[in-house]
Each structure stands twice: as structure tokens, then as C-alpha cells.
Amino acid sequence: MKVGKAFFAGIVGGAAMTLILAAARAAGASADMAQVLGTLPGNAPSSLSWFVGFLVTILISGLIGIAYGAVFETITRSAGVAAGLKVSLVHLVLAGIFVGLVGVMHPLVPELVAAPGFFMSRYGGLGILSFVAAHLAFGAIVGGLYGTVMTEEEIPLK
């Protein structure tokens, strides 16, 4: 498995997700997952907490990129945009459930931070749309950047 390439692809995908959510915020949705993650330890919303949340997003995205790489190598036996989109459907469902549970775990909800709801549903239709678009973009980017899967001859001996 190409761990470094998968991690990098995840970072690029995570940055794209952040841009999509920023566009949704500019269009009127309150979809700010970086701020939600940055305030999870109890920090008040601020530029610093947003930046910390962004760094957490990028790190998690890199790790999820590695998971995508493992799926490409062992399950789909192919990568590319189409394979990435297919894998992103599972990622989308799992992330949608996790995001819905954030409100229960977050110490500042509802006083300082709005709970996103499942699939960011508390941010309205634009929140849901941006959540889905961000995850599909992530899958397409990671699949496209990962490249071809390793052949049997390339797999190192154990």
C-alpha cells in the first residue's frame, strides 16, 4: 500500500472539504466543522480554535486517506475517481452519523456552538448539500490522487 500517497491524498481531500464548507458558509449556512472540532475540548470559539480544528480536520483527513488506500488495495482492487466516489458513500454515511453525535459530546453545545445534527441537518438544506458534496469531493480526490493499486509483484514479502 502507498501510505504516503494515501495520506497526502487525504490531506488534499480534507482541504477541499474545508473549501466547500467555507463556500457554504459564504452562501449563508453555518457549516463550520473546523470551529466545531476546535472547540470540542471546551475552548471558546476564536480564530485559534478554528485553526486548531482545521489542523485536526487535515490530520483526520490524512488518516482517512490511508483507510481509503487500504480499501483500494484490498477490496476494490482499483483506485481512481469512480472508485473513490464509491468508497466515499460509506464514508459519507459513517461521517454523517458521527457528526450527528458531536452535539451530544460537545461541552459548548448549545450555549456557544450550534450542534451540526446528523449530516449537518441543523444547518439547513445547504448544510446537508455541502456535507454530501464535501464527502463526494473527498472520495473523488483521494481516488484520483492515489493512482493505481499495487500488483501482486509489487507487494513486499512478509
Q: What is the pLDDT of residues 124-139, one digit of tens each?
A: 999 999 999 999 999 9
pTM of the shown model:
0.93
Q: What is the pLDDT of residues 59-104, one digit of tens each?
A: 999 999 999 999 999 999 999 999 999 999 999 999 999 999 998 9
- What's the per-residue H, E or C state across the chain? CCHHHHHHHHHHHHHHHHHHHHHHHHCCCCCCHHHHHHCCCCCCCCHHHHHHHHHHHHHHHHHHHHHHHHHHHHHHCCCCHHHHHHHHHHHHHHHHHHHHHHHHHCCCCCCCCCCCCHHHHHHHHHHHHHHHHHHHHHHHHHHHHHCCCCCCCCCCCC
